[in-house]
């Protein structure tokens, strides 16, 4: 029997499949599209996701095809400099189209032995105590021990489970067009800057080769939100705001997005779980959605693998919901706040001016960027050292870099004392005896997702923590 069926071959599903494969789990990815769409909703990757790629040895591939920018403007488009002191080795945004991210993640998943079946749409689902049965559109039935819905915001898996998706519907809609224009870049930039003085939901971003991604407020909310706008509708809205459509031509992609904000009530229903957009939707402001999905997968992968391989301690798989649901709650909240700050109404514009002034304080600016980039995430692992529950940043060791030692997705004891032992867990946890000038803790136990599970130097204390994350010792 298949161990895990992953429904959806977007960024979340691909990342999850790879994480499971690192632990030898038999994974099948079902993707309804016969071919990649080539569309790129997301254009960027934030710090924590860049770190995740580094932790799995993928950084070079991503850096080779992306561009690094240390520019502000990610909080509600308020233009402030990138903060000076971000606690990371990767203090930048990686501009990389989603289509390339998906291509690189597909390569990685395939290299690790993932089977990806395209043109396979899941339409039915049932489960009992032991297994899940998935039904495909062509009538095929597949059985697996677990199934994860990574099938996007309109998730079939979520609907079939009957999991509630409370929140707000779209009230404000934006049209998106990737087009070429007939005016010089300076003219376009000057007009856009003028319009943005009053309408910050209007914008144009150069994508290279003379193509711009233009966004413009729609006229109300479309009845059929899944239908793309016509090119004429798009140009007409651009004219309403800019007084010209810049001679826009050769549209390469037309779409619409809203500000619907919803969060799945639960991430786990028996043997079926939800991750990525299937579990949460929110407006694209701040560019967080793809990142959130990749990080869901990074949290879930090793826990589900532990369950499949039989060493998961009680409650480990449920901690996926406990840890990730609050993170999504926070992202939904910050996108709600940013949506208010984009309103052209006088009240929100005053609040925007005030937030802008506050962001001149370096600490405020940094706090907001830590939120958007997700390096501020701290799982609630109880009282303790300030690192507990946070991801550890990459640090230099005598033998190289910490993240270079994490490619296999195992736990890691970083031991600066040389007196500790993980005997009994050596098949799941690496013991690295080394020192770092950048780290002032004697020892730290890192989970496979790089979050700190323990900080101390006491062997007895360590022995009490190892089973909590890595199950029983083997002799
Ligand atoms: C305009 C716009 C700009 C954005 N910009 C950013 C950004 O800069 N940064 C960022 O982080 N995020 C951004 N996002 C959000 C980002 O695109 C999504 O959050 C991301 O794609 C979610 O990934 P996912 O894998 O969870 O879902 P998806 O990418 O939606 O993938 C789901 C996959 O499941 C497949 N599928 C669906 N149903 C089935 C089924 N029944 N059976 C089999 N397969 C199925 C689909 O074909 C699809 O391939 C943006 C979104 C928009 C709209």
pLDDT by residue for the chain (475 residues), tens digit each?
Answer: 999 999 999 999 999 999 999 999 999 999 999 999 888 899 999 999 999 999 999 999 999 999 999 988 889 999 999 998 899 999 999 999 999 999 999 999 999 999 999 999 999 999 999 999 999 999 999 999 999 999 999 999 999 999 999 999 999 999 999 999 999 999 999 999 999 999 999 999 999 889 999 999 999 999 998 899 999 999 999 999 999 999 999 999 999 999 999 999 999 999 999 999 999 999 999 999 999 999 999 999 999 999 999 999 999 999 999 999 999 999 999 999 999 999 999 999 999 999 999 999 999 999 999 999 999 999 999 999 999 999 999 999 999 999 999 999 999 999 999 999 999 999 999 999 999 999 999 999 999 999 999 999 999 999 999 999 999 999 8
Q: What is the per-residue pLDDT for 73?
A: 86
Q: What is the per-residue pLDDT for 39?
A: 86
Domains of the chain: 2-167+262-373 (3.50.50.60), 173-258 (3.30.70.2450), 396-470 (3.40.30.120)
Distances (CA, A) of 181 to 2, 239, 254: 50, 13, 15
Separation of CA 148 and ligand 1 centre (Å):
15
Token digits of residue 49? 């996701």
Query: From the CB of residue 166, how many other CB atoms can be counted at a distance below 10 Å?
Result: 9
Query: pTM score, two decimals?
Result: 0.97
Token digits of residue 169? 């519907």
Q: φ and ψ at 317, to 5 degrees?
A: -65, -35
Cα–Cα dist 198/194, whole Å? 8
Of ligand 1's listed atoms, the one at least distance from the Cα of 121 is: 42
Q: What is the per-residue pLDDT for 71?
A: 87
Of ligand 1's listed atoms, the one at least distance from the Cα of 296 is: 26
Cα–Cα dist 398/6, whole Å? 39
8 A C-beta contact, residue 376 and residue 365: no
Determine whether the shortest distance from the Cβ of 291 to ligand 1 is under 6 A: yes
Determine whether the shortest distance from the Cβ of 94 to ligand 1 is under 6 A: no
Separation of CA 466 and ligand 1 centre (Å):
36
Determine whether the shortest distance from the Cβ of 471 to ligand 1 is under 6 A: no
Q: What is the per-residue pLDDT for 243?
A: 96
Determine whether the shortest distance from the Cβ of 177 to ligand 1 is under 6 A: no
Q: What is the per-residue pLDDT for 441?
A: 97
Residue 177 half-sphere exposure, CB side, CA atoms within 13 Å? Answer: 24
Cα–Cα dist 197/243, whole Å? 15
Query: From the CB of residue 367, how many other CB atoms can be counted at a distance below 10 Å?
Result: 15
Separation of CA 35 and ligand 1 centre (Å):
15
Using most ligand atoms within 8 A of CB, pick from 6, 40, 42 the residue to mutate for ligand 1. Answer: 42
Determine whether the shortest distance from the Cβ of 31 to ligand 1 is under 6 A: yes
- Specify the pairing of strand 272-274 against strand 141-149: parallel
DSSP 272-306: EEE-GGGTEE---TTS-HHHHHHHHHHHHHHHHHH
DSSP 358-402: HTTSHHHHHHHHHHHHTTT-B----SS-TTTTBBPPP-EETTEEG
Cα–Cα dist 320/301, whole Å? 9
8 A C-beta contact, residue 428 and residue 311: yes
Q: What is the per-residue pLDDT for 462?
A: 98
Q: φ and ψ at 258, to 5 degrees?
A: -115, -170
Q: What is the per-residue pLDDT for 72?
A: 85
Size (the chain), residues = 475
* Smallest CA separation from ligand 1 atom 52, residue: 41
Using CA of residue 35, residue 36, residue 37, residue 38, what is the dihedral sign?
A: negative
Cα–Cα dist 50/287, whole Å? 14
Separation of CA 12 and ligand 1 centre (Å):
8
């Amino acid at each position: 029997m298949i161990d895990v069926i992953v429904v959806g071959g977007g960024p979340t599903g691909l990342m999850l499949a790879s994480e499971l494969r690192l632990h030898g789990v038999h994974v099948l990815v079902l993707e309804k599209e016969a071919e990649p769409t080539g569309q790129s909703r997301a254009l960027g990757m934030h710090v924590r996701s860049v770190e995740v790629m580094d932790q799995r040895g993928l950084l070079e591939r991503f850096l080779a095809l992306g561009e690094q920018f240390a520019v502000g403007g990610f909080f509600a488009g308020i233009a402030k400099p990138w903060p000076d002191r971000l606690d990371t080795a990767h203090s930048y945004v990686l501009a990389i189209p989603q289509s390339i991210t998906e291509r690189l993640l597909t390569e990685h998943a395939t290299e690790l032995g993932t089977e990806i079946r395209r043109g396979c749409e899941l339409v039915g689902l049932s489960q009992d105590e032991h297994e899940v049965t998935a039904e495909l559109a062509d009538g095929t039935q597949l059985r697996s021990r677990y199934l994860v819905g990574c099938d996007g915001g309109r998730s079939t898996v979520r609907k079939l489970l009957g999991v509630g998706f409370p929140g707000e519907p779209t009230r404000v809609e934006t049209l998106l067009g990737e087009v070429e224009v007939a005016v010089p870049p300076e003219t376009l930039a000057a007009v856009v800057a003028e319009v943005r003085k009053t309408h910050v939901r209007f914008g144009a971003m150069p994508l290279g080769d003379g193509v711009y991604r233009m966004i413009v407020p729609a006229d109300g909310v479309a009845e059929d939100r899944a239908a793309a706008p016509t090119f004429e509708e798009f140009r007409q809205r651009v004219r309403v705001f800019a007084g010209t459509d810049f001679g826009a031509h050769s549209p390469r992609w037309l779409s619409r997005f809203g500000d619907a904000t919803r969060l799945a009530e639960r991430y786990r229903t028996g043997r079926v779980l939800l991750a990525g957009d299937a579990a949460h939707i929110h407006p694209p402001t701040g560019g967080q959605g793809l990142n959130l999905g990749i990080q869901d997968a990074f949290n879930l992968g090793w826990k589900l693998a532990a369950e499949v391989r039989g060493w998961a301690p009680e409650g480990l798989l449920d901690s996926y919901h406990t840890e990730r649901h609050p993170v999504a709650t926070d992202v939904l909240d910050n996108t709600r706040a940013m949506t208010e700050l984009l309103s052209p109404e006088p009240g929100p514009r005053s609040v925007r001016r005030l937030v802008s002034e506050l962001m001149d304080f370096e600490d405020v600016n940094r706090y907001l960027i830590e939120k958007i980039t997700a390096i501020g995430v701290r799982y609630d692992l109880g009282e303790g050292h300030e690192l507990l529950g946070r991801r550890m940043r990459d640090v230099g060791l005598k033998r190289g870099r910490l993240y270079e030692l994490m490619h296999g997705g195992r736990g890691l004891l970083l031991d600066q004392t040389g007196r500790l032992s993980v005997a009994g867990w050596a098949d799941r946890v690496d013991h690295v005896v080394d020192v770092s000038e950048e780290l002032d803790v004697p020892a730290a136990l890192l989970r496979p997702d790089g979050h700190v599970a323990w900080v101390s130097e006491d062997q007895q204390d360590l022995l009490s923590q190892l089973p909590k994350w890595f199950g029983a010792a083997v002799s």
